[in-house]
Amino acid sequence: MADRGPALPPPAAGSTGPVVSSVPTSAGATGATGSTGSTGSTGSARSTGATGSISQQDLDTLNGILSSVGGAASSVRSAVAGDSASPQG
Nearer to other proteins, 14 or 87 (CB): 87
Q: Does 1 bind other proteins (CB under 8 A)?
A: no
- Helix or strand (DSSP H, E) at 26: none
Q: Does 36 bind other proteins (CB under 8 A)?
A: yes
Nearer to other proteins, 9 or 15 (CB): 9
DSSP β-bridge partners for residue 49: 52
C-beta of 74: minimal distance to other proteins in Å?
7
Q: Are 36 and 87 in contact (CB under 8 A)?
A: no
Query: Helix, strand, or coil here: 76?
Result: helix
How many CB atoms are located within 10 Å of the residue 11 CB?
21
Phi, psi of 52 (to 5 degrees): 110, 155
Q: Please list the alpha-helical segments (H only) found in the chain.
A: 56-84
Binding-site member from 12, 15, 21, 65 for other proteins (CB under 8 A): 65
Interface residues toward other proteins, by CB under 8 A? 5-6, 8-9, 20, 23-29, 31, 34-38, 45-47, 49-52, 54-56, 58-59, 61-63, 65-70, 72-77, 79-81, 83-84, 86-89
